Amino acid sequence: MTAADVFKAPGLLLLAALLQVSVLWTIEVSNGHPDLLLVLVVVLALVRGPLLGSVAGFSAGLFLDVATFSTLGISSLLLTLVGYWSGRLGSIMSKSSPHPSLIAVGLATIAVALGSAFLHFVLGSTVGASELLGRVLLPTLVLNLLLAYPVHRLVCRLFPRTTRAAREVIVAG
Amino acid sequence: MALVLVSLALITVYFRESSGGTLHSAQRIGVSILTPFEVAGERVSRPFRDAYGWTADLVGAKSDNERLREEVEALRTQVIQNETAAEENKRLQKMLNYIGGSRYPVGFTAVPTQVIQKPPNPYAQQILVHAGTSNGVKIYDPVVTQEGLVGIVTDVTSGTAQVRLLTDQASAVSAEVLGTGASGIVARGPSDSSTLVLNRVPKDEVVTEGDLVITSGWQSGPLTSLYPKGIPIGKVSGVSRRDVDLYTRIQVTPLVDFGSLDDVIVLTAGDANKP
């Protein structure tokens, strides 16, 4: 994580969060919505590691919980874990290919849906399995996968690679 | 790890504290700050959604559909008014001075408003509308559309109100089947949020598919129902009378399309109607 990341990441997250609550939630396919914040947290974590991923996940989740009058902490818990594990995934996969982001976004969408179902079940709210899987998870998964590649491209442009190998080339050169 | 612990602490504290607690208050402030952005986003996206809806309607013979819909709406309203008034007359005659006047609620003022946030997930069947205490909206105010009952206000800030939809697990509305006298409680169906169930209807009541279910607007001593009488809720789509059940179980298809709510009306009333 670089010093510039500290300014760019919150700005990008805030923009995505506002877009999510004001526009993207009005886009409904079956009962699913595109989850730009989740996709952004996953891609940021893939590119910049688990620390930024978990902090970004926590902040984004807290924003969502506040904006939707939901129980505070549920989204932040889920997105923190998703950010952390996506960061860990990114450290063992190639960062130049878009495929890790597709895999990570897909897994994260499923994990968040199931995790959310579990937490809401614990808190006393349930939803039918067929509705959750067929009418919510499936369309959300498709929409998130459609978002994964452009978001990955955008994040790669805004957060260029500063790997040790690149720095070594510059120093040696 | 620390963030996970903070999240768990937030969930615990938020879930246990009252609606006037610190976290709830902070959340209301946050919502107030975000409202202008949500309203702006809703206004920007609405023309695009309207254009999409218009095109879709055009394909399906929009004009005919619209005219017939209005006609059905007018007839439905007429039927409700006639049958409710006739039913009320009979009861007034039988019960003498038990009911001293009209059973339609008085003192309700309509506050038309826009939906600025749809249900964020399937667990929280709630919406956010762009009207709050500054418009006279209070907690427990019923929310309707011209098609029927939508839900009830459960939280309110100066410029927004959270509305719990009829399809939420926590919703329960006293209702009756128009023209039959059968009454019960409408709640969310067990399988999904697209159907409702009218529970606690005695087995000797005759209810058939297609019957209209409306709010019953009961009164018990100083307590009154939160909902005015006669608001349409849905149509009976299935009736089940099993030997092992104490009551008839009635499936109700809501008249309101909860997936495409754009404009709603909050019915504000005096404090006398509040619990």
pLDDT exceeding 70 applies to what percent of chain B? 86
**Chain A closest CA to B131's CA: distance in Å?**
15
What is the predicted pLDDT for the residue at B270?
60
The verdict on A110 touching B (C-beta cutoff 8 Å) is: no
pLDDT band with cut points at 50, 70 and 90 for residue B138: very high
The verdict on A66 touching B (C-beta cutoff 8 Å) is: yes
Residue B202 CA to residue B205 CA, distance in Å, equals: 6
Residue B60 CA to residue A70 CA, distance in Å, equals: 38
**Which value does ipTM take for this structure?**
0.74
Average pLDDT over residues B74-78: 86
Cβ distance A21 to B45 less than 8 Å, yes or no, reads no
pLDDT of B146 over the 90 cut: no
**Chain A closest CA to B192's CA: distance in Å?**
6
Burial group, residue B116, by CB count within 10 angstroms (0-12, 13-18, 19+): buried
pLDDT of B92 over the 70 cut: no
Which pair of tokens denotes residue B183? 């009454």
Spatial neighbors of B184 by CB under 8 A, at least 6 apart, are B174, B175, B176, B198, B199, B200, B201, B247, B250
pLDDT of B271 over the 70 cut: no
Question: Which of B153-157, B191-195, B227-231 shows the highest mean pLDDT?
Answer: B153-157
The verdict on B7 touching A (C-beta cutoff 8 Å) is: yes
Which of A87-91, A126-130, A133-137, A146-150 has the weakest average pLDDT?
Answer: A126-130
**Buried b or exposed e, range A106-142, using 16+ CB within 10 angstroms:** bebbebbbebbbebbeeeebebeeebbeebbbbbbbb
Q: Which residues of A touch B8 (CB under 8 A)?
A: 73, 77
pLDDT band with cut points at 50, 70 and 90 for residue B97: very low
- Tell me the residue type at A142: V
Cβ distance A127 to B193 less than 8 Å, yes or no, reads yes
* Contact yes or no for B132/B157 (Cβ under 8 A): yes
Residue B35 CA to residue B168 CA, distance in Å, equals: 23
Residue A125 CA to residue A132 CA, distance in Å, equals: 13
What is the predicted pLDDT for the residue at B111?
82
Which pair of tokens denotes residue B269? 């009333």
Cβ distance B11 to A74 less than 8 Å, yes or no, reads yes
Q: Which residues pair with B35 in a beta bridge?
A: none
Which pair of tokens denotes residue B111? 């506050």
More confident residue, B274 or B213: B213
Which pair of tokens denotes residue B231? 């608001």
Q: Which residues pair with B220 in a beta bridge?
A: B223
Place of tokens 């923190």: A80
The verdict on A26 touching B (C-beta cutoff 8 Å) is: yes
Which of A11-15, A68-72, A97-101, B40-44 has the weakest average pLDDT?
Answer: A97-101
Which of A3-12, A138-147, B89-98, B154-163 has the weakest average pLDDT?
Answer: B89-98
Let me know how many helices (H) and strands (E) chain B has, helices first.
3, 14
Q: Which residues of B touch A54 (CB under 8 A)?
A: 3
Average pLDDT over residues A31-55: 89
pLDDT of B228 over the 80 cut: yes
pLDDT exceeding 90 applies to what percent of chain A? 18
Task: Write the DSSP assignment of A104-155 as a string of letters.
Answer: HHHHHHHHHHHHHHHHHHHTT----HHIIIIIIIHHHHHHHHHHHHHHHHHH
By Cβ distance, the residue of B12, B37, B121 closest to A18 is B37
**Chain B closest CA to A146's CA: distance in Å?**
20
Cβ distance B8 to A69 less than 8 Å, yes or no, reads no
Which pair of tokens denotes residue B114? 């826009």
Cβ distance A71 to B155 less than 8 Å, yes or no, reads no
Return the axis-axis angle of helices A138-158 and A3-22, rounded to nearest 10°: 150
Q: Which residues of A touch B10 (CB under 8 A)?
A: 62, 65, 72-73, 76
What is the predicted pLDDT for the residue at B156?
92
What is the predicted pLDDT for the residue at B96?
37
pLDDT of A32 over the 50 cut: yes
pLDDT tens digit sequence for B231-246: 889 999 888 877 777 8
More confident residue, A58 or A125: A58
The verdict on A125 touching B (C-beta cutoff 8 Å) is: yes
pLDDT exceeding 90 applies to what percent of chain B? 17
Burial group, residue B17, by CB count within 10 angstroms (0-12, 13-18, 19+): middle
pLDDT of B20 over the 70 cut: yes
**Chain B closest CA to A170's CA: distance in Å?**
36
Helix (H), strand (E), coil (C) string for B120-156: CCCCCCEEEECCCHHHCCCCCCEEECCCCEEEEEEEE
Cβ distance B118 to A70 less than 8 Å, yes or no, reads no
Residue A111 CA to residue B68 CA, distance in Å, equals: 46
Interface of B with A in 76-95 (CB under 8 A): none
pLDDT band with cut points at 50, 70 and 90 for residue A102: confident
By Cβ distance, the residue of B23, B42, B123 closest to A72 is B23
The Cα angle at residue A56 between residues A54 and A57, in degrees rounded to 5: 60
Q: Could you say which DSSP state residue B5 is in?
A: H
pLDDT of B273 over the 90 cut: no
Q: Which residues of B touch A116 (CB under 8 A)?
A: 121, 123
Return the axis-axis angle of helices A3-22 and B22-59, rounded to nearest 10°: 60
* Contact yes or no for A82/B7 (Cβ under 8 A): no
The Cα angle at residue A151 between residues A150 and A155, in degrees rounded to 5: 120
Q: Could you say which DSSP state residue B98 is in?
A: G
pTM, two decimal places: 0.62
Cβ distance A69 to B15 less than 8 Å, yes or no, reads no
Which of A18-32, A76-90, B91-105, B162-176 has the weakest average pLDDT?
Answer: B91-105
Average pLDDT over residues B74-102: 62
pLDDT of B103 over the 50 cut: no
Average pLDDT, chain B: 80
Residue B128 CA to residue B244 CA, distance in Å, equals: 41
Which residue in B153, B156, B151, B163 sits closest to B115, CA to CA?
Answer: B163
What is the predicted pLDDT for the residue at A57?
92
